[in-house]
Structure 1
Amino acid sequence: MNAITPEQLKARNRGRWTLVALFGLFFGAMALAGLLRFSGWQPTAHRNTGQMIEPHLDVRALPPTLASGQPYPWKSDSQVWRILVAPSLGCAAECVTLSQDLAKVWQLFGHRADNVEILWLGTPPAEVQGLPALRALQPQPELRAVLPGVDDAAGTPVYVVDPNGFVLMRYAPGFELAGLRKDMATLLKLK
């Protein structure tokens, strides 16, 4: 039988250590990914800028009424996402700015803009009343009352409502428009 030379022994050991290193690298990366996943960490590209409402708020039992008096159905045949604004009675200049900002965001959706409506509880400012996506709703104190943080002292929050009538997210007063646009663009890709 042939004896193993020292060079062959070194080569065999080097191959084994390479295999152990590859094994450690592969399973170490999986362990790190699992640790990050279950600790709740997410890359910034996957984070919402709006505050997720958990559990989602079911407002299907509170169907709003359009300013014209016709009922507004939460569930429709098309996949329409809604941006809901429930301003306080004293909202004036802030509401004008907010409505103009929401009109800009809606226009930036491009070909997907037909799948987004802006619901305004009460009378919207005159500056945006011609916006095709704007739906003025009659004031509904019971709907307004269930929205979390609706009477924020800092201003008027904005909510995202899914096509089935669930409030998913809340945007605090003074939120970044780019964040709302990014979150809505992600939601619009869902089928």
Structure 2
Amino acid sequence: MNAADPAAVRKSRIFLVLVALVFAAPMIAATLLGWAGWMPGTKGNGEAIVPQRNFVAEQLRVELADGKTYAWRDSSPRFTLVALAGPDCAAHCFETLTGIAKARVMLNRNQSRLRLLYIGAPPADANQRTAMQAYWIFGRDVEGKLATYVPSTPDSISAVLVESNGTALSLYPAGFDVPGLLRDMLKVIK
């Protein structure tokens, strides 16, 4: 029986450890970056709602224009984008609402997976109100549970993206970027 050369064994073991490190290095780097808080490509344009809220569990009641209560859970799984109007919704407010409606259309075949719910006093202009009815469901927050998301700036809109199970995902405060909202919707509505 031949005894193995200790130098050759040591060299083979070092080579094996180096090969293992080559494969383990990306996982170690990703773990360290994750602990540091860096997550590539996961940053949305909206603000995460913390603590997380579920409007079904909270029994958040929105009364629609026809007197019915808005169903957060629909017959088919659909997201809801809730637009919350600040005081005196006028030209800028309407422009943002129109941009949101256009963003919904840009979801193409997935646009039926998003409902648009408008909460607040509709724009004063009758033509704008009529134009909105093609895309928006009008409602009223009965108990004021969404008041923290309503902007205080006149003629402004904030928005909340709500998952099909009633979980509020993101807040888009007044002055948000509509194309950024569209990018976020394209990520989650598939």
**TM norm structure 1:** 0.79
Q: Percent identity?
A: 27
Q: Which amino acid aligns with 1:35?
A: L
Residue 56 of structure 1 aligns to a residue in which SS?
A: coil
* Aligned-partner SS, 2:169: strand
1:39 and 2:36 are equivalent in the alignment: yes
For residues 152-171 of structure 1, the aligned pairs below 5 Å read 152-153=152-153, 155-171=156-172
CA distance in 2, matches of 1:36, 1:137: 44
Establish whether residue 57 from structure 1 lines up as the match of residue 53 from structure 2: yes
Q: Which runs of 4+ in 1 moved over 4 A?
A: 11-18
Selected match of 2:134 from 109, 112, 131: 131
**Residue-by-residue CA offset, 1:170-191 (whole Å, 9 max, x unaligned):** 01222222221121122213xx
Q: C-alpha distance in 1, partners of 2:113/2:67?
A: 23
Report how far residue 32 of structure 1 moved: 0.9
User: Could you tell me which residue of structure 2 aligns to residue 142 of structure 1?
Assistant: 144
Q: 1:152 to 1:82 in 2, by over 3 A?
A: same
Secondary structure of 1:65's counterpart equals strand
The CA RMSD over aligned residues, in Å, is: 2.7
Number of aligned residue pairs:
181
Measured after TM superposition, the shift of residue 64 of structure 1 is 0.9
Determine if the alignment matches structure 1 residue 91 to structure 2 residue 92. Answer: no
Structure 1 unmatched ranges of 5 or more: none
Helix, strand or coil at the partner of 1:143: coil
1:118 equivalent among 110, 116, 128: 116
In the alignment, structure 1 residue 177 sits paired with structure 2 residue 178: yes
Contact 1:84 1:159 in 2 (8 A): yes
Distance in 2 (CA, whole Å) between partners of 1:19 and 1:112 is: 50
- Deviation by residue 1:130-179 (Cα, 9 ceiling, x = unmatched): 424x101135451332xx44234484211111112222210122222222
Amino acid paired to 2:47: Q
TM-score, normalised via structure 2 length: 0.80
- CA–CA distance in 1 between the matches of 2:24 and 2:166? 43
In structure 1, what is the Cα distance between the partners aligned to 2:20 and 2:93? 59
Secondary structure of 2:62's partner? coil
